[in-house]
Structure 1
Amino acid sequence: MKIAFYGSSLLSSYWNGAATYYRGILRDLAARGHAITFYEPDAFDRQQHRDIDPPDWARVVVYPAREDAMRAVVAEAANADVVIKANGVGVFDRELLEGAIEHAAPHALKIFWDVDAAATLDEMRADAAHPVRRALPDLDMVLTYGGGPPVIDAYRRFGAASCVPIYNALDPSTHFPVAPDPRFAADLAFLGNRLPDREARVEQFFLEPAAALAGRRFLIGGNGWEGKAMPANVRHLGHVYTADHNAFNASPLAVLNIARDSMAAVGFSPATRVFEAAGAAACLITDAWEGIELFLTPGEEVLVARDGQDVAEQLAALTPLRAEAIGRAALARVLAEHTYRRRGKEVDALLARHAARAREAA
């Protein structure tokens, strides 16, 4: 099928944590024979911070962040068999969603792909005129980055014809164990951008343990942390390109995952970092959220912390030998159950099933 995908960016992870998620799933769909065109705006300096060149498995159209350019690319939805609008493009989100639906061919499957479902649902509850809420009757399907039963039930109550979580996963060709790199030497490392709905949890789960363990080394990567007051034993790297993610994950004694507020509240929302860290055989400590055991077994494949004190205690007790055992167990689990090949197979089956129903209805 010809797939038109309107998203934030395939080429850059700069202020765009969904990049590796898009790459993993769309690359697998391309391998299954789908022809993919990804439309992304030239916005937020992402094109100046590309992680990859345009891949051979997708046509990437970078358009100026202007209304006329947006109108031109959204009109190309008419040529696709599957039209997908992802949330969080950052510019013209409403217009892209409405335009994709308007221009989609009669036979085309129309999909909204929500990579921040908990936050989107909160917005929809507060605004009866929310563009996604208004668009649901015209959409064939909602796919989400995660969220499990709470998100599925909520979208169905809003009138979605179908809602299916497509969870993050591992692409073993891009994220894998590597030798430690002195640039990323630390006892605990965290990678994530500074966002309003994450900052308080970073203070609790990362900065408080750092203050409590003054003799240990802490490392933080991601955009926006410049100017943030931090303990003296915390080193800030700034943006970490995806080419360095394996070394970032493989070098510290442990790495930390901290969910955003809404995702922690809903649960069933493992971030891309969870699988990338596991793919590098890193020892992962994650904040507690419902559903973690569906992806990694607590105590064996991941360490789970309820608060900053838990993080500090787990890190203080962690030996290199145990960290290595946890990391190797996590790698084995994700290779067996959580790869983008599996996720792509799920999406491919969904597309085929809905296309068959559309043909029958026609």
Structure 2
Amino acid sequence: MKKSLNLVVLGLSLSSSWGNGHATTYRALLRGMHAEGHRVLFLERDVPWYAKQRDLPDPNFCELSLYSGVDDLVERSSARLQAADAVLIGSYVPEGTRIIDAVVAQHPKLLCFYDLDTPVTLAKLDRKDEEYIAARQMPLFDIYFSFAGGEVINRLEQQYGVSHAEPLYCCVDAQAYQQTGEPKHWDLGYIGTYSADRQPALERFMIAPARLLPKMRFVVAGPNYPANIDWPQNVERIEHLAPADHPTFYSRQRFTLNITRTDMAAAGWSPSVRLFEAAACSTPIISDYWNGLEDFFPSGKAIIIASGPADIVAALTDLSEKHWLMAEAARVIVLDQHTGHSRAAHFARALCAAHQLKMRRSSTRFTINA
């Protein structure tokens, strides 16, 4: 495979970050690919809820093309799919199972899957829910890139027959996410789309401390929260924040809160992109616990791990400098290991290695058949 890769990506969304965490990870990763000289075509389903909320309609680091459905995709993009060095299909793509079958029929040189929701995917498959990928399709991929690491990798290969699973954690654009130096406005903030399985944790780690500390300021940003939630008066609500506003949002917080979805926490080794964003902005992080968290951010050195409201209150009322030292330690870790550039380099190496392995296997089969 040549040094400059020609890649086609079919993902949930690149143009809109509204209500999804995929866009920011794709943007950071593909900016890194562009910086390394690789060419990318991103194919995105044209859906009304993203069409109304596009904050990146014309990216300068890749080509973006919208399609209306599976037939339209094949008709317009079959030549590109066949010519690409690799085709990457992401999780939660609308009509994902049909998309995968349609792309397989184009016989791409290298077929990969990027599961930005691996624990959720596996939980869905356990329930026979094949919304965007079917169990029968998982062995079809040359590489199955996983948002989650740890034991999830073994499960993908042993239970679902994936030929090669590899962690490809989310990442952050280090040029876009930096401390802005603005005055602190909130004592604790959280950003995340409403999720029923996360709401009990938000009650414990945000709403309960807000009631215990009525003179402090709290903020929750993100869409789709039900109207019947009883927010304390000192909790500000922001419906949606575009990625361009995230650095300001983090920089204006004394602490930021990370809450993990139930399936992700159960699987472990599933860092949210919000962790990397906040760390890049030098904001001290308070998080719930999950296996593998300390492999990314050592507890007490780069992150505060909370088990209940008392831990939140203790952190917010502690005015010592140790939290700022933690924030700096977390920033160094992210800039060294979790930027779009570092993730793109890992991604490209994995694609090249998979291509070489596929060529060797093809050569061996040809020799045997001859």
TM-score exceeds 0.5: yes
Decide which moves more: 110-119 or 69-78: 69-78
Partners of 1:269 and 1:169 in 2: CA distance: 12
User: CA 1:320 to 1:44, structure 2 compared with 1: closer, same or farther past 3 Å?
Assistant: farther
**Cα distance per residue 1:145-185 (max 9 Å; x no partner):** 12x22210110121000111111233211111102267xx2
Decide which moves more: 211-220 or 67-76: 67-76
Matches within 5 A, 1:100-115: 100-105=103-108, 108-115=109-116
- SS of 1:46 mapped into structure 2: helix
Partners of 2:198 and 2:100 in 1: CA distance: 27
- On the 8 A contact 1:80/1:104 being kept in 2, the answer is no
TM-superposed deviation, 1:127:
2.0
Partners of 2:10 and 2:178 in 1: CA distance: 29
User: CA 1:104 to 1:312, structure 2 compared with 1: closer, same or farther past 3 Å?
Assistant: farther
Partners of 2:236 and 2:317 in 1: CA distance: 19
- SS of 1:285 mapped into structure 2: strand
TM-superposed deviation, 1:197:
2.7
Match of 1:23 in 2: 27
TM-score (norm 1): 0.92
Match of 2:299 in 1: 298
Decide which moves more: 38-47 or 185-194: 38-47
TM-score (norm 2): 0.90
Match of 2:282 in 1: 281
Q: C-alpha root-mean-square deviation of aligned residues, in Å?
A: 2.0
TM-superposed deviation, 1:74:
5.8
Matches within 5 A, 1:140-219: 140-146=142-148, 148-157=149-158, 158-180=160-182, 185-219=185-219
- SS of 1:253 mapped into structure 2: strand
Instruction: Please state if 1:359 is matched with 2:362.
Output: no
**Cα distance per residue 1:242-283 (max 9 Å; x no partner):** 111001001111010111111111111111100100000001
- On the 8 A contact 1:201/1:261 being kept in 2, the answer is no
TM-superposed deviation, 1:92:
1.4
Match of 1:12 in 2: 16
Match of 1:62 in 2: 66
User: CA 1:128 to 1:338, structure 2 compared with 1: closer, same or farther past 3 Å?
Assistant: closer
- On the 8 A contact 1:181/1:247 being kept in 2, the answer is no
Instruction: Please state if 1:334 is matched with 2:334.
Output: yes
**Cα distance per residue 1:82-135 (max 9 Å; x no partner):** 11110112x212211221222233xx1111110110111112223297743111
**Cα distance per residue 1:215-257 (max 9 Å; x no partner):** 2211000111251321121110110111110010011110101
Matches within 5 A, 1:70-109: 70-73=73-76, 75=78, 76-89=80-93, 91-105=94-108, 108-109=109-110
Partners of 1:60 and 1:320 in 2: CA distance: 47
Match of 1:116 in 2: 117
Letter in 1 for 2:151: P
Gaps of 5+ in 1: none
Partners of 2:188 and 2:194 in 1: CA distance: 18
Match of 1:48 in 2: 52
User: CA 1:6 to 1:60, structure 2 compared with 1: closer, same or farther past 3 Å?
Assistant: same
TM-superposed deviation, 1:308:
3.0
Match of 2:368 in 1: none
Identity across matched positions, percent: 28
**Cα distance per residue 1:17-37 (max 9 Å; x no partner):** 111111111221222232111
- On the 8 A contact 1:177/1:246 being kept in 2, the answer is yes
- On the 8 A contact 2:124/2:130 being kept in 1, the answer is no
Matches within 5 A, 1:219-298: 219-225=219-225, 227=227, 228-298=229-299
**Cα distance per residue 1:284-335 (max 9 Å; x no partner):** 1111111112111211211111233322332232x27333322222212222
User: CA 1:95 to 1:230, structure 2 compared with 1: closer, same or farther past 3 Å?
Assistant: same
Partners of 1:83 and 1:112 in 2: CA distance: 8
- On the 8 A contact 2:150/2:292 being kept in 1, the answer is no
Decide which moves more: 186-195 or 291-300: 291-300
Gaps of 5+ in 2: 363-370
User: CA 1:174 to 1:346, structure 2 compared with 1: closer, same or farther past 3 Å?
Assistant: same
